[in-house]
Chains A and B, each alone.
Chain A
Amino acid sequence: MNKIFLMSVVLTISGVLPALGNEGDPDNGNALYEIYCTQCHGISGDGKGINIADMSVLPRDHTDKDEMSARTDEELMKAIKHGGKSVNKSVLMPAWDSNFSDQQVDDLVAYLRQICCTN
């Protein structure tokens, strides 16, 4: 009992438990993706949105299983919140941290995992 209590305290302090508790909702992520992301990443998430004609670097193809599997959830969250520059990618991906709550970012990542890797 004491060991379990001690483990809970350690995990809570290290931030692991809150992370486990923040599971994203892919349906809500889908709704947010349509509103905010499709202009560049495309209606089907293939990176071919209406904005790409003059882009020097094309948006990420979110349906590319190999590319997306190589990114951790933390990397995806960081790119969404702080922009492409924060993960050594293009400035064309802006920072959305003042637009989205942490939960909404989790929802978007859950949706990205769905369109890249479960369909």
Chain B
Amino acid sequence: MAERYDSIIIGAGFAGLAAGIRLAQFQERVLILESHFIPGGLNSYYFRGGKDKLFNTGLHTVTNFNAKNRRWGFGLICRNLGIPASEFSLVPPSRPSLIEVPGAGLDFNNDLDVLRGSIAERFPAEVEAFDRFCTDMSQLEDVQRLYGIGSRTWLEEYFRDPVLMDLLELPVYIYGGYSEKQIDAATFSTVFRSIFLEGCSSPPDIKHILDLLIKRFKSLGGELKMRKRVARIDCEGGAFRAVELADGTRIEADRCLSSAGLCETGQLAGEVWGRTCPLSVFETVVSVNAPMTDLQADYTLQLISEQERFDWKAPDERGAFDHLTLAASAFYDFAEEPHAKHFKIGCFQKGELWLGLDEETYQREKNHLEERLLQVLLARYPGLRDVEAEHCESLTPRTVVTYTSHLNGGIYGGAEKTFDGTTAVQDLFIIGNDQGGIGIMGALTSGVVVSNFQVILKSART
């Protein structure tokens, strides 16, 4: 007889673990299946050269830091997962961050007045509009309308200066630009609020939060199985029945929550859903051991567009870049100075251009882009010039495919979202990126919200 669960969750990333914890509070048998041997999906970690040399993938900037209200942001997560905020060990950045387009830049940190002051200096005529924008953002009246319009259309209702609008859009798109050209204004407002109004933070490392979530999930009786790849989703009469693993095992459940992506989940179920997004990432990390005082970083994050006019898309050519993300991961208020300091630089690439290359071309192209990014990194963090790098390596769209199974190495999920988490198949739900969950906090929220509204409240009513 096949095993049977109340709920099966595909993927032990932030969305899957959050959904697992939430469901395990109400259900007897909850199973999370992860294809990789390390949890986290896109926001994961690995070791290089020893157990104490841990590297995080992704930016590991956690937003909504100051949102302590239990219905939103960090507060909502802590309350729903039953984990006290302090256990996440999040700390704010110790330096401001920079947003830059050709000829103009803005500083920001967790104090909104820094961004406001920066705008007042460079765009004095727009300060009043910015205040109105921020006020409206914290009490949105018509969210449904915002889902239907692009972010630029919405910004134009407040601002006049296209350069300022470029500067305001850039960080939000870098954080969650799931579709080329324009993302919807509702998602834009969520991400803007999460970064600027509620502030950024960092855990000591990603493993810390993943371990915390797994411990909580298991304490509630949840089961986590690693290295179990779902090969097929079995549906019958338009409803979910079971998953079939790559090794042939069949596992039945009353429902399934998938963080594999909308297109990808559709493929597993033999359906055609969603639309892939070509946006993937190339990221180079440099690890150094010098003391912080020698490194002289002015900014924790630097978000840069080299385009004259902001136009969100991955370059058509492999190795070209328009938008850059730089991060000095050690420059947060950690109680103890991290032993190794990681500096990262990432740019956006069309995932498909990196897939299916022969090994020689792949390595050559990888080395070439890595060298160019390192030059930018050294120019932007000059303190790095005089210290020796302990380790340096790059992640490409191919790496993303390997560890997340997302088509084209998509880092924001597909270009189409199912905002309520439902699919055309009954009892099969989408969580994570393709439900609109952006970043770590977005993924956690997605797992919680879909579990609450599509599963827990519905079971209570039947």
Whether A and B are associated in the same complex: the answer reads: no
Using CB atoms and an 8 Å cutoff, list the residues of chain A in contact with chain B. Answer: none
Using CB atoms and an 8 Å cutoff, list the residues of chain B in contact with chain A. Answer: none
